[in-house]
């Protein structure tokens, strides 16, 4: 025989031997359909989230791309302010640009936020989409072609407006209807609809209202600036024209029309990338939880098939063939789960879009976008996670001795837990030290040790959990199962019989509830911190507020001042200035500080003359300021002013770094275009607050969006925003918890199979079906509560560390949501019982004689 033939013989033999092993693997899967379905489901849920995230964000991306593809049509160059927070482009620059060689036309653009009112005087809801007012330029003056009017005509004089088709439908308005528009920086404007225009693309809940150019400038500018300039060239390349204008206006941002469109698309892409990463993060969490379920499932399958695997080894199967047979089963599970998960993800994306549309969030509609990338990534992730999770059980299967494993139907792993427990204990101590050290600091320097400590503790718990399960489950069982006598004792014994399996099953639930606990602690601490800020820093009896994107319209403060019983109504404005090269944010008040706020002065006075500035203790320390020190400030458009420190106050997230006088605010900020943040109302001594509240509501009723709130209601509004975010996070984390519950079901079902003879013996000696079911219920409950206890303890510890590290960001209170903690522990016990329903019924139906003789 030649050397080549000799070398080929083993390879040929391996190929011939692989076919029977593939049949064994596939038949084993087909013979256990329920087990296959449960394992596949854990992969389906994770990959569905991944594929659904891609489909949802790709659909939004495509829709927004189609909207912005028509933006700046006909525009060769756009001139905009270098700083978006500045007043805009000076009107004087229009003549400068018009005089540049190669410029055919210059079209100034003016726009601002508005609230359109319907015929009944109610605000037209956009569901979160923009509601904008802008100037209308006729074709002779506009650079890009104006949107065509499907009804009526464009506005021709002040008091006339055009509205987009979406606004007409939502408001129930048509040509000739009279209504009102709320301009936050100006007040209520009476208008008549003269026409309805079609934007040409699906814009969701977007509201567009066009005014004459003159009225738009009056409403949305300070009279000396416009939002940007669109320029059309005359026989000159856009790049050349851009360079000419940039040379003439070096302090502005000059772009070609193509650059504007690309920048807009990039901004949308970045926003959607955040959404995508956010959703994918929860998909990754679900897959991570699923890895423990898959690992546990294959570990139990291998343990149950020891005799089968030993027989295969005895008839000639090699270690590699046995191991590969288990990997093949995992591969089949991964492929099936991924394919079904991709389909489920498409349905998930469709359902999510329908859900958002039902809540009228204002998103534009469009066909679902399903790209090859979605299929490839979801398939690879699902298969990879499944195969990696089954790798350790596959290795264990390949090491089954041909004879030793044939002596018993099942032989649990006798490997010592000492090594992993020691390593886990060392990691745990290091993680605790890192958490404590990180919690002593704040900001970015504290984030690294806190994150490293949290990761170390999670790994430590993963390693120590088998050894930890025995005493913890034993202690829980001693209390919870005592009333059930011998059945309870049996359940406790079964729960700790195989600590590795108990730990792996419980750890999936531990991860989910750990994250839920972290979020719960963070949310409760944030709400408590907000409450503390308001209680300590706010003196006003009532606060007038508006939507976050709009604020309180101008004129509301004056209306409040005219109400009987009001001592003072002080409007609060946002301030953003540059101080010695650093950006600083704060507030400004158009009245006395002392009556409505309590800045907790460290030195000086809270009186604010025209050049007066109150500064925080940290800011004063950084710049070595004291009472009387000059404070050089620069506005966004370069306007400079010098203030004088009149007082230093304790650091407060409510107040920011500084409080300026109203005169400084109007000098440095584009005051004409910025609405009030809030209006703080202080009652006169002895005034009837309830009566005054009703008067305030009637006085501000015409401003539609204004709410009159007392301090408790104001705190409740802030808490409601936090609760909304928490609800979204909890909803996304629910997927991981569902997978963990499926893991308990799967583990118990497989456990019933492997203990078939044992259960048959118990039934044969008199154990009743109800007792069998009860034992399974209690075992499941103990495993679930063990996972919940560990998860809650970790979550509270991590929450404490994160909150401590963020105390400079306003999280000054650490609060444990004890109600939620107790609810999770009770809920985990209930979930444990529910998860055991099917396995318990299956166990109770075991026929004694058949199980005993089943070898």
Least confident of 118-122, 714-718, 734-738, 822-826: 734-738
Give the percent of the chain with pLDDT over 90.
29
pLDDT digits (tens, 9 = 90+) for 690-728: 999 999 999 999 888 899 999 888 888 888 878 877 887
Whether residue 504 contacts residue 482, with contact meaning beta carbons closer than 8 Å, is answered with no
- Span 654-668, mean pLDDT? 89
Question: DSSP readout, 718-745?
Answer: HHHHHHHHHHHHHHHHHHHHHHHHHHHH
HSE value, Cβ hemisphere, 13 Å, CA-based, for 191: 36
pLDDT digits (tens, 9 = 90+) for 34-50: 667 777 877 887 788 78
Distance CA 687, CA 360 (A): 42
**What phi and psi values does residue 375 have, to the nearest 5 degrees?**
-65, -45
What integer best gives the mean pLDDT of the chain? 83
Burial of residue 8, with CB atoms counted within 10 A of its CB: 0-12 exposed, 13-18 middle, 19 or more buried: exposed
> Between 42 and 137, where is the model more confident?
137
Q: What is the pLDDT of residue 194?
A: 96
- Span 231-254, mean pLDDT? 91
Whether residue 481 contacts residue 782, with contact meaning beta carbons closer than 8 Å, is answered with yes
Model confidence band, residue 588 (pLDDT cutoffs 50, 70, 90)? very high
Query: CA of 365: how far to CAs of 196, 362, 384, in Å?
Result: 21, 9, 34
Model confidence band, residue 347 (pLDDT cutoffs 50, 70, 90)? confident
Q: What is the pLDDT of residue 404?
A: 55
pLDDT at 380 over 50: yes
The structure's pTM equals 0.76
Q: What is the pLDDT of residue 800?
A: 93
pLDDT at 15 over 70: no
pLDDT digits (tens, 9 = 90+) for 283-325: 777 777 777 777 777 777 776 666 777 777 777 777 888 778 8
Model confidence band, residue 754 (pLDDT cutoffs 50, 70, 90)? low
pLDDT digits (tens, 9 = 90+) for 76-110: 899 998 877 677 889 999 999 999 999 988 989 88
> Between 352 and 505, where is the model more confident?
505
- Span 213-234, mean pLDDT? 88
Q: What is the pLDDT of residue 127?
A: 67
Using left for φ > 0, alpha for ψ between -120 and 50, and beta otherwise, residue 221 falls in beta
Model confidence band, residue 129 (pLDDT cutoffs 50, 70, 90)? confident
- Span 252-272, mean pLDDT? 82
Q: Which two tokens stand for residue 525?
A: 């601490």
Distance CA 52, CA 607 (A): 57
Whether residue 145 contacts residue 74, with contact meaning beta carbons closer than 8 Å, is answered with yes
pLDDT at 6 over 50: no
Q: Which two tokens stand for residue 29?
A: 């899967």
pLDDT at 648 over 70: yes
Q: What is the pLDDT of residue 786?
A: 93
From the list 321, 338, 416, 322, the residue with the least C-alpha distance to 375 is 338
> Between 306 and 489, where is the model more confident?
489
Q: What is the pLDDT of residue 130?
A: 82
- Span 675-685, mean pLDDT? 90
Q: What is the pLDDT of residue 364?
A: 63
Q: What is the pLDDT of residue 549?
A: 67
pLDDT at 365 over 70: no
Q: What is the pLDDT of residue 128?
A: 67
pLDDT at 739 over 80: no
Q: What is the pLDDT of residue 68?
A: 62
pLDDT at 824 over 70: yes
pLDDT at 210 over 90: yes
Least confident of 95-109, 141-155, 305-319, 352-366: 352-366
Q: What is the pLDDT of residue 5?
A: 46
Distance CA 617, CA 120 (A): 50
Model confidence band, residue 197 (pLDDT cutoffs 50, 70, 90)? very high
What size, in residues, is the chain?
855
Whether residue 254 contacts residue 78, with contact meaning beta carbons closer than 8 Å, is answered with yes
pLDDT digits (tens, 9 = 90+) for 411-469: 444 557 888 899 999 999 999 999 999 888 887 788 889 989 999 999 999 899 999 99
Distance CA 571, CA 558 (A): 9
Model confidence band, residue 362 (pLDDT cutoffs 50, 70, 90)? low
Least confident of 7-21, 529-543, 766-780: 7-21
Q: What is the pLDDT of residue 612?
A: 93
Q: What is the pLDDT of residue 529?
A: 86
pLDDT at 11 over 80: no
Model confidence band, residue 357 (pLDDT cutoffs 50, 70, 90)? low
């Amino acid at each position: 025989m030649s050397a080549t033939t000799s070398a080929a013989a083993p390879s040929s033999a391996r190929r011939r031997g692989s076919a029977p092993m593939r049949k064994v693997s596939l038949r084993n899967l087909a013979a256990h359909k329920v087990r296959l379905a449960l394992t596949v489901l854990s992969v389906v849920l994770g990959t569905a989230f991944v594929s659904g995230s891609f489909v949802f964000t790709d659909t939004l991306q495509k829709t927004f791309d189609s909207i912005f593809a028509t933006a700046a049509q006909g525009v060769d160059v756009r001139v905009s302010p270098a700083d978006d927070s500045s007043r805009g482009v000076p009107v004087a620059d229009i003549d400068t640009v018009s005089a540049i060689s190669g410029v055919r036309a210059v079209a100034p653009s003016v726009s601002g936020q508005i609230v359109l009112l319907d015929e009944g005087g109610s605000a037209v809801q956009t569901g979160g989409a923009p509601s904008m007012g802008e100037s209308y330029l006729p074709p002779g003056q506009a650079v890009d072609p104006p949107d065509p009017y499907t009804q009526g005509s464009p506005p021709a004089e002040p008091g006339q407006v055009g509205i987009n088709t979406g606004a007409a439908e939502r408001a129930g308005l048509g040509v000739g209807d009279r209504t009102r528009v709320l301009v936050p920086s100006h007040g209520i404007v009476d208008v008549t609809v003269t026409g309805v225009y079609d934007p040409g693309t699906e814009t969701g809940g977007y509201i567009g209202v066009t005014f004459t150019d003159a009225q738009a400038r009056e409403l949305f500018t300070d009279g000396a600036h416009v939002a940007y300039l669109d320029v059309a060239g005359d026989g000159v390349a856009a790049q050349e024209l851009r360079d000419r204008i940039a040379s003439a206006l070096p302090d502005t941002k000059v772009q070609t029309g193509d650059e504007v469109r690309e920048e807009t698309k990039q901004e949308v892409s970045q926003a959607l990338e955040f959404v995508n990463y956010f959703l994918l993060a929860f998909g990754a969490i679900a897959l991570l939880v699923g890895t423990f379920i898959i690992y546990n499932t294959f570990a139990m399958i291998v343990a149950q098939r020891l005799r089968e695997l030993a027989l295969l080894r005895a008839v000639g199967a090699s270690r590699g063939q046995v191991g590969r047979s288990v990997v093949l089963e995992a591969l089949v599970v991964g492929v099936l789960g991924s394919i079904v998960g991709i389909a489920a993800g498409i349905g998930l994306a469709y359902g999510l879009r329908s859900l958002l549309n039902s809540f009228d969030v204002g998103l534009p509609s469009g066909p679902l976008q399903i790209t090859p990338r979605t299929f490839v990534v979801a398939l690879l992730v699902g298969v990879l996670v499944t195969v990696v999770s089954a790798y350790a059980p596959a290795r264990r299967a390949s090491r089954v001795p041909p004879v030793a494993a044939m002596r018993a139907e099942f032989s649990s792993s006798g490997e010592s837990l000492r090594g992993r427990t020691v390593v886990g204990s060392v990691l745990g101590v290091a993680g605790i030290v890192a958490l404590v050290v990180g919690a002593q600091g704040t900001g970015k320097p504290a984030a690294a040790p806190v994150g490293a400590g949290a990761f170390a503790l999670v790994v430590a718990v993963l390693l120590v959990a088998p050894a930890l399960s025995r005493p913890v489950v034993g202690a829980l069982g001693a209390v919870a199962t005592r009333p059930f006598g011998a059945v309870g004792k049996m359940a406790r014994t079964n729960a700790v019989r195989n600590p590795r399996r108990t730990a792996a099953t419980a750890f999936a639930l531990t991860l989910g509830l750990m994250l839920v606990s972290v979020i719960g602690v963070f949310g409760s601490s944030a709400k408590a911190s907000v409450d503390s800020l308001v209680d300590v820093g706010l003196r006003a009896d009532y606060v007038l507020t508006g939507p976050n994107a709009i604020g309180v319209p101008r004129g509301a403060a004056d209306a409040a001042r005219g109400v009987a019983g009001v001592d003072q109504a002080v409007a609060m404005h946002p301030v953003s200035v540059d101080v010695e090269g650093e950006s600083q944010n704060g507030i400004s008040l158009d009245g006395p500080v002392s009556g409505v706020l309590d800045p907790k002065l460290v030195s000086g006075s809270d009186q604010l003359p025209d050049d007066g500035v109150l500064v925080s203790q940290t800011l004063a320390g950084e710049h070595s300021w004291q009472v009387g020190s000059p404070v050089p400030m620069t506005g966004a458009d370069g306007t400079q002013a010098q203030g004088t420190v009149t007082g230093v106050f304790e650091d407060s997230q409510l107040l920011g770094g500084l409080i300026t006088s109203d005169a400084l605010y109007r000098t440095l900020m584009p005051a004409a275009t910025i609405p009030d943040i809030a209006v703080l109302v202080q009652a006169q001594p002895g005034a009837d607050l309830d009566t005054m509240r009703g008067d305030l509501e009637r006085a501000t009723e015409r401003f539609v969006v204004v709410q009159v709130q007392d301090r408790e209601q104001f705190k409740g509004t802030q808490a409601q925003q936090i609760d909304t975010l928490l609800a979204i996070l909890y909803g996304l984390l629910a997927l991981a918890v569902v997978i963990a519950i499926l893991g308990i079901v799967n583990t118990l079902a497989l456990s019933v199979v492997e203990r078939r003879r044992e259960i048959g013996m118990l039934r044969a000696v008199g154990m009743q079906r109800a007792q069998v079911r009860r034992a399974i219920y209690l075992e499941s409950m103990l495993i679930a509560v063990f996972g919940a206890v560990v998860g809650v303890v970790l979550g509270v510890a991590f929450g404490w560390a994160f909150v401590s590290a963020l105390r400079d960001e306003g999280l000054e209170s650490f609060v444990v949501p004890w109600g939620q903690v107790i609810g999770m522990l009770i809920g985990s016990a209930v979930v444990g019982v529910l998860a055991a329903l099917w396995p318990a019924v299956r166990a109770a139906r075991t026929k004694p004689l058949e199980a005993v003789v089943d070898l």
